[in-house]
């Protein structure tokens, strides 16, 4: 596996074999033992559609039942995402919702797949937590990454990390699920596992191990000293900032997921919030600044001044700017809030 573009090694798991007729792949073909056998439900859907034609190994075209269709405008794709079958679907001729279309055909959505229009479908209900990885398994993932030149080149060159940071924070690669893994520690024990697949849709690339994503955690662990802190938006950004000598942390729940219980850890510190250059980042930075201000010595909301959706990793990797440049920008940013 080799990265084809920035942050994009092929990391999507796809079915290894399929029937030659219209049937969707079965769980026996899945590469994750937790994949569900949803083939009968997909067969039900295909049987209700007209003009079904397989296009490639996992795609189908069919006449859309929601409008007079002569061009087989309905597009369906089945794939495995984190070990569970996911159905993508859209009609190029109308704006029908895939769940609504399935219901109109007289099928329960749950009998087909937990479907979505654009993003991959999430399973319904509460699933039992998966076991946290053992130290031996984490070590095996680390060794696999260390022994794979293309994967290692991705984290060193595309993510801007160093071998020291990779080893220090136990970054690895799970060959079975084809995803990068970042263990989350608290008090020296693993409390979550962040799994990263670059080629998934935005917002779905980084996911927690099932049953361990709530509550969100600070990542990496924050020492008790009172050094200044950079709050980043995302695990990779926090790691690249630490690679450059900054004490950086992030929350594992996204830009707007700052938890009230984290704010006391910012007491008596100078805090710089450097979130992504997009609307979610700007809004999340203000939320975080408001929460931190009563505790911190000072709070600065830093505008990196990069292109839309660019981040701290882009600052160092894409634009080649230095940590001294970042410190100068932080120091030039007006104080947004003063606490104690």
* Residue 335: CATH number of its domain: 3.40.1360.10
Does one domain contain both 200 and 281?
no
Does one domain contain both 196 and 226?
no
Reported as type and span, the H/E element at residue 148 is none
Give the Cα separation of 150 and 207 in Å (integer).
Answer: 22
Does one domain contain both 266 and 282?
yes
**Which pLDDT belongs to residue 235?**
97
In a domain? residue 64? yes
**Which pLDDT belongs to residue 338?**
47
Phi-psi region at 92: left, alpha or beta (left = phi > 0; alpha = psi -120 to 50): alpha
Looking up residue 148, the CATH number of its domain turns out to be 3.90.980.10
**Which pLDDT belongs to residue 292?**
95
Does one domain contain both 224 and 334?
yes
In a domain? residue 6? no
- Displacement of CA 224 from its chain's centroid (Å): 29
In a domain? residue 36? yes
In a domain? residue 89? yes
CA nearest neighbour of 194 among 149, 253, 147, 267: 253
In a domain? residue 261? yes
**Which pLDDT belongs to residue 150?**
94
Does one domain contain both 298 and 280?
yes
DSSP alpha helices (H): ranges in 33-108?
Answer: 39-48, 98-104
Does one domain contain both 240 and 147?
no
The 10 Å CB-count burial string (b at 16+, else e) for 133-163 is beeebbebbbebbbebeebbebbeebbbbee
SS3 of 338, please? Answer: coil
**Which pLDDT belongs to residue 203?**
72
> CA separation (Å) from 331 to 116, 157, 299?
45, 28, 11
Residue 31, domain extent: 27-112
In a domain? residue 247? yes
In a domain? residue 223? yes
**Which pLDDT belongs to residue 115?**
46
Does one domain contain both 82 and 173?
no
Q: pLDDT tens digits for the chain (340 residues)?
A: 444 344 444 333 333 333 233 333 333 333 333 333 344 456 777 878 888 888 876 788 999 988 888 889 998 887 665 555 667 788 888 878 777 787 777 776 555 554 444 333 443 344 578 899 999 999 999 999 999 999 999 999 999 999 999 999 999 999 988 899 999 999 999 999 999 998 777 777 898 998 898 899 999 999 989 999 999 999 999 999 999 999 999 999 877 789 999 999 999 999 999 999 999 999 999 999 999 999 999 999 999 999 999 999 999 999 999 999 999 999 999 998 544 3
Does one domain contain both 178 and 235?
no
Sign, CA dihedral 8-12-18-23, equals negative
Domain end call among 185, 212, 239: 212
Contact criterion met (CB below 8 Å) for 31 and 21: no
User: Could you give the number of structural domains in the chain?
Assistant: 3
Domain end call among 212, 230, 262: 212
Contact criterion met (CB below 8 Å) for 9 and 1: yes
**Which pLDDT belongs to residue 29?**
37
Domain end call among 212, 240, 262: 212
């Amino acid at each position: 596996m080799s990265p084809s573009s920035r942050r994009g090694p092929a990391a999507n798991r796809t079915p290894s074999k399929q029937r030659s007729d219209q049937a969707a792949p079965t769980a026996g073909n899945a590469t994750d033992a937790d994949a569900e056998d949803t083939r009968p439900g997909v067969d039900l859907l295909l049987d209700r559609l007209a003009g079904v034609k397989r296009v490639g190994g996992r795609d189908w075209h069919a006449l859309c039942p929601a409008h007079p269709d002569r061009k087989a405008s309905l597009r369906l794709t089945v794939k495995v995402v984190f070990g569970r079958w996911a159905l993508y679907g859209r009609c190029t001729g109308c704006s029908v919702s895939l769940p609504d279309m399935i219901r109109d055909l007289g099928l329960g959505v749950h009998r087909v797949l937990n479907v979505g229009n654009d993003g991959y479908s999430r399973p319904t209900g509460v699933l039992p937590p998966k076991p946290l990885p053992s130290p031996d398994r984490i070590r095996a993932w680390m060794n696999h990454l260390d022994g794979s030149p293309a994967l290692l080149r991705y984290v060193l060159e595309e993510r801007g990390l160093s071998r020291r940071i990779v080893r220090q924070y136990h970054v690895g690669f799970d060959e079975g699920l084809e995803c990068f893994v970042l263990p989350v520690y608290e008090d020296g024990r693993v409390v979550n596992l962040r799994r990263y697949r670059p080629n998934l849709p935005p917002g779905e690339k980084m996911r927690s191990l099932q049953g361990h994503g709530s509550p969100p955690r600070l990542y990496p662990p924050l020492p008790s000293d009172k050094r200044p802190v950079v709050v980043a938006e995302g695990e990779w950004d926090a790691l690249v900032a630490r690679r450059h000598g900054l004490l950086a942390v992030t929350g594992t729940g996204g830009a707007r997921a700052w938890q009230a219980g984290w704010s006391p850890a910012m007491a008596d510190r100078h805090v710089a919030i450097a979130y992504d250059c997009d609307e979610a980042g700007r809004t999340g930075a203000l939320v975080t600044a408001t929460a931190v201000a009563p505790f911190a010595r000072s709070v600065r909301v830093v505008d990196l001044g990069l292109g839309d959706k660019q981040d701290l990793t882009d600052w160092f990797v894409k634009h080649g700017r230095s940590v001294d440049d970042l410190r100068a920008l932080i120091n030039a940013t007006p104080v947004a809030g003063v606490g104690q």
